[in-house]
Amino acid sequence: MAPQADRNTFISRETRLRYLPFAEIEAGMVIGRALNLSDRNILRLHLPAGHVLTDGNLRQLYANGAEFVCVAMPETRSPEQIAADTADSAGRTLRIFADADLSEPTMAALFDCVLSYRSK
């Protein structure tokens, strides 16, 4: 089984986490991050990271109003393409924060989080 960063995230070298709209989710896909759906602060559905979706799960997700699901998709990009995509993403993030004061700790933390998220 692939290594896990923590119990809530399913990762490996061969996978890439993607957030897909519910309409694109299919049975057999693997949950990339733990999925918790609640209504009025009551947990209605929990699917752990690494769970393989079934037709029953899809019906439950639909019934509980799921809009997006994080799935672990096979990585199809070459190492060179991954590096190029990461550089492009970093450049776009730098342009977004061009006028921000990154010496301010809160803004620097936000920049780091956005850069990390967009680099995956």
Tell me which residue of 60, 1, 6 sits closest to 30, measured CA to CA: 1
pTM of the model: 0.67
Exposure of 70 in the CB half-sphere (CA atoms within 13 A):
18
Buried b (16+ CB within 10 A) or exposed e, 84-99: eeeeebeeebeeebee
Residue 71 — φ and ψ, nearest 5°? -120, 155
pLDDT digits 0-9 by tens, 9-27: 666 768 888 899 999 999 9
CA distance 52 to 49: 9
Model confidence at 120: pLDDT above 70: no
